[in-house]
Chain A
Amino acid sequence: MTRLNLLLIVAVLASAFWLVQVQYRSRVLYSTIYQAEKESRQLEVNRERLEAELRTQGAAGRVERIARERMQMRTPTPAITQYVTRSGAAMPEAAR
């Protein structure tokens, strides 16, 4: 009888410690997941910010200004454009 009781006490204690341990581990893991999610959100936000920055740098207005002022480029017109057909041959003058 006493032996059985002892055995049960040991079992109860073991399961209690195990429970505490599992609870602790689950909390550590949850906390890690939470941190990782937070970081992922932060990275996502950063990506968004950089994309917007990239787009601002590549906005039509800025590209046009730099092309014109710094690189002395000019807007093409049909007069200085060679139109080609899909086969790659230059289009005959009459077909234009």
Chain B
Amino acid sequence: MSRPLPLASSPLLASKVPPWRSKLLVGLLVAGFGVLVARAVWIQVVRNDFFQRQGEVRFARTLELPANRGRIFDRNGLLLATSVPAPSVWAIPEDVDATPEQLARLASLLEIPLPELKKKLADDDKTFVWLKRQVDESAWQKIAEMNLRGIHERKEYRRKYPEGEAAAHVVGFTNVENIGQEGVELFFNKDLGGRNGSQRVIKDRYGRVIEGVGEQVPPVDGRDLQLSIDSKVQFFAWQKVRDAVLQNRARAGSAVVLDAITGEVLALANYPSYVPDKRVNLSGAQLRNIALTDTFEPGSTMKPFVVGLALETGRVKPSTPIQTAPGKITITGSTISDAHPHGVLTVEEVIQKSSNVGTVKMAMQMEPREMWEVFSAAGFGQKPQLEFPGAVGGRLRPHKSWRPIEQATMSYGYGLSASLFQMARSYTVFAHEGEIIDATMLKREQPAKGVRVFTPETARTMRRMLQMAAGPGGTAPKAQTVGYSVGGKSGTARKQEGKGYTDKYRAWFTGMAPIDNPRIIVAVMIDEPSNGQFYGGAVAAPVFSEVVQHTLRMMGVQPDVAVKPQIIAPQVQESF
């Protein structure tokens, strides 16, 4: 049994320390905790932004949500341009430890020379180097399978153009940053472009997205475009222009097909062209959209406008005789002549035989202002209102500055200039019952609203004359085609270089079909044919004929000219 120790009274335990010391200690501890609490409040409540930010940097990321660039379709909904994935391959040079065989295979997959690849990987100081931008998805798959260290991809998109060369000038192309550089891609860049969206997310330590923070900014995809181009007509026109350029050993060629009712551009083909998917070492000549950017003196193509004006103002009738002998006419000291002297021609025959003298005689009865008004109403000297970059307006001087000889030469198409596209469009005056209509690159369902230039009767009369010009005894009988009546005017001009004319030529043909109720207008131009033939009627008219034939068949237009059928009906075996 033990006795409880009287602790309080034990002299050994009696403290000699003054009681304030323990109070001080408690006070210090409390103060210490107070400081910690204050600091915690300071960091977590009052001034928490720094650590918040540091924390976010470690787990929050802003993801870019890429917008798709709009696609381009032809009038029948066939793809002309779309975006496809094309990974860009990059490397961290110091991480790469590939064997020489692997490097050789990598170089061949990337389609770059091996020394170039080695040079790119040689610089160990760099932490980032592009090996190749926008390779094929399949090539990257193979590279990924090699499992090389230090080789990475970045997801990118590239435009693909299924129609290739044939529609290159119409559709154009984009650069590596997906910004339109040429053609429709350039003109509608804003519409096609779209806007990238973004979303802030939290990632876990494996890099998986586990939470979205705040509002998502959704990506806005680019608008899809539907062009008026018919890719089959486009291809066929391009093919025929190419064949004609090669056959005539010409420098270039171009064709425009317009719908005569709606004003839609069905085809706009140029040769030489390029493959828009593989653009290397392109020359300016390949890139140029000749039909829109090259202007030249429209020559005989202008004559129908002068004759139309003479008919319209009642100065002549189609059967009015005009003396063109001796095939020459002198105006203020300068002589204008015909290629062949003709004698007395009717107004119709002036167009049919393309007589300069006959046209000049009609033009000289007119005021310069009248002629100028008809020419500008037909779109000459004005930039066409077309949804396309680079279209030029050619040159038509104001009528006040015309001297008599200039008025005379302008009546048969010299002293002013126009592009092939302008010439095609100007012929809507004849094809669209006397009205000029606006051309468009976008699909348009309803007929275009026109501006009247001539009365419907004059337009019909002129169409008959154009038919004669493309018929037997005309300047371009080769424009005729099986099954369809055609009409049009050929033109040939020496090219101007510097101040004088050279012995290089340019040949073209502008016409329409079927002539009674025109559905299409086709203009063809061949630049510098040098294989013996150089007249528009010999070089350009055959292309016109084939393009008309094919286009009208594609459009389902029934032939308006009787054709001797060559269908061999299957023989039916007689039975007993």
Q: Which residues of A contact B (CB under 8 A)?
A: 26-28, 30-31, 34, 45, 48-49, 51-52, 55-56, 59-61, 64, 75-83, 93-94, 96
Stretch of B80-88, B355-363, B524-532 with 4 or more beta carbons under 8 angstroms from chain A: B80-88
Q: Is the CB of B483 within 8 A of A78?
A: yes
B146: shortest Cβ distance to chain A, in Å?
22
The verdict on B209 contacting chain A, using a C-beta distance below 8 Å, is yes
Which residue of the partner chain, among B79, B164, B231, contacts A51 with CB atoms under 8 Å?
A: B79
B residues less than 8 Å from A55 (CB atoms):
78-79, 162
Which residue of the partner chain, among A30, A52, A61, contacts B210 with CB atoms under 8 Å?
A: A30
Q: Is the CB of B559 within 8 A of A52?
A: no
Q: Which residues of B contact A (CB under 8 A)?
A: 68, 78-79, 82-85, 137, 160, 162-166, 201, 204, 208-212, 231-232, 234-236, 239, 482-484, 549-550, 553, 558-567
B251: shortest Cβ distance to chain A, in Å?
23
A residues less than 8 Å from B204 (CB atoms):
27
Which residue of the partner chain, among B85, B210, B235, B559, contacts A49 with CB atoms under 8 Å?
A: B85
Q: Is the CB of B79 within 8 A of A80?
A: no
B residues less than 8 Å from A83 (CB atoms):
558-559
A87: shortest Cβ distance to chain B, in Å?
15
Q: Which of A27, A34, A78 has the most CB of B within 10 A?
A: A78
Count of A-B contacts with CB under 8 A? Answer: 91
Using A80-B566, A93-B562 as known contacts, say yes or no to A60 and B163 having CB atoms under 8 A apart: yes
Bound complex: CA A34 to CA B234 (Å): 44
Q: Is the CB of A56 within 8 A of B162?
A: yes
Main secondary structure, interface of B, reads: mixed
Q: Is the CB of A96 within 8 A of B235?
A: no
A28: shortest Cβ distance to chain B, in Å?
8
B residues less than 8 Å from A60 (CB atoms):
163, 166, 231-232, 234-236
A residues less than 8 Å from B166 (CB atoms):
59-61
B113: shortest Cβ distance to chain A, in Å?
28
Main secondary structure, interface of A, reads: helix
Q: Is the CB of A79 within 8 A of B482?
A: yes
B residues less than 8 Å from A61 (CB atoms):
163-166, 235, 239
A37: shortest Cβ distance to chain B, in Å?
10
By beta carbon, the residue of chain B nearest A27 is B210
Q: What are 13 A-to-B residue pairs whose CB atoms are below 8 Å? A: A30-B210, A34-B201, A52-B79, A56-B160, A59-B163, A60-B232, A61-B164, A78-B483, A78-B563, A79-B563, A80-B565, A94-B562, A96-B558
A27-B210, A59-B162 are known; give 7 further A-B pairs, CB within 8 A. Answer: A28-B210, A52-B82, A55-B79, A56-B160, A59-B164, A60-B234, A75-B550
Q: Is the CB of B211 within 8 A of A52?
A: no
Using A77-B482, A78-B483, A96-B562 as known contacts, say yes or no to A45 and B85 having CB atoms under 8 A apart: yes
By beta carbon, the residue of chain B nearest A46 is B85
A68: shortest Cβ distance to chain B, in Å?
11
Bound complex: CA A75 to CA B562 (Å): 19
A23: shortest Cβ distance to chain B, in Å?
9
Using A51-B79, A76-B553 as known contacts, say yes or no to A96 and B162 having CB atoms under 8 A apart: no
A residues less than 8 Å from B165 (CB atoms):
61
A45: shortest Cβ distance to chain B, in Å?
5
Q: Is the CB of A79 within 8 A of B564?
A: yes
Q: Is the CB of B231 within 8 A of A96?
A: no
Q: Is the CB of B550 within 8 A of A52?
A: no
Q: Is the CB of B567 within 8 A of A52?
A: no
Q: Which of A51, A55, A75, A93 has the most CB of B within 10 A?
A: A55
Q: Is the CB of B162 within 8 A of A52?
A: yes
B568: shortest Cβ distance to chain A, in Å?
9
B residues less than 8 Å from A96 (CB atoms):
558-563
A residues less than 8 Å from B164 (CB atoms):
59, 61
Using A55-B78, A64-B235, A78-B482 as known contacts, say yes or no to A34 and B209 having CB atoms under 8 A apart: yes
A58: shortest Cβ distance to chain B, in Å?
8
Going nearest first, the 4 A-B pairs with the smallest beta carbon separation are: A78-B483, A60-B235, A27-B210, A55-B162
B481: shortest Cβ distance to chain A, in Å?
9
Q: Is the CB of A30 within 8 A of B235?
A: no
Bound complex: CA A31 to CA B560 (Å): 67
Bound complex: CA A26 to CA B209 (Å): 12
Bound complex: CA A48 to CA B563 (Å): 45
Bound complex: CA A76 to CA B163 (Å): 23
A2: shortest Cβ distance to chain B, in Å?
28
A residues less than 8 Å from B78 (CB atoms):
55
Which residue of the partner chain, among A30, A49, A64, A77, contacts B549 with CB atoms under 8 Å?
A: A77
Q: Which of B83, B137, B163, B563 has the most CB of A within 10 A?
A: B563
Bound complex: CA A42 to CA B375 (Å): 56
B residues less than 8 Å from A77 (CB atoms):
482-483, 549
B residues less than 8 Å from A52 (CB atoms):
79, 82, 84, 160, 162
Which residue of the partner chain, among B211, B560, B567, contacts A30 with CB atoms under 8 Å?
A: B211
Bound complex: CA A27 to CA B84 (Å): 32
By beta carbon, the residue of chain B nearest A75 is B550
Q: Is the CB of A48 within 8 A of B84?
A: yes
Bound complex: CA A46 to CA B562 (Å): 51
Q: Is the CB of A79 within 8 A of B483?
A: yes
B residues less than 8 Å from A48 (CB atoms):
68, 82-84
A93: shortest Cβ distance to chain B, in Å?
7
Bound complex: CA A75 to CA B208 (Å): 58
Bound complex: CA A75 to CA B236 (Å): 11
Q: Is the CB of A27 within 8 A of B82?
A: no
By beta carbon, the residue of chain B nearest A60 is B235
Q: Is the CB of A79 within 8 A of B562?
A: no
By beta carbon, the residue of chain A nearest B277 is A56
Q: Is the CB of B564 within 8 A of A30?
A: no
B residues less than 8 Å from A82 (CB atoms):
565, 567
Bound complex: CA A51 to CA B71 (Å): 12
Q: Is the CB of B209 within 8 A of A30?
A: yes
A25: shortest Cβ distance to chain B, in Å?
11
Bound complex: CA A45 to CA B137 (Å): 11
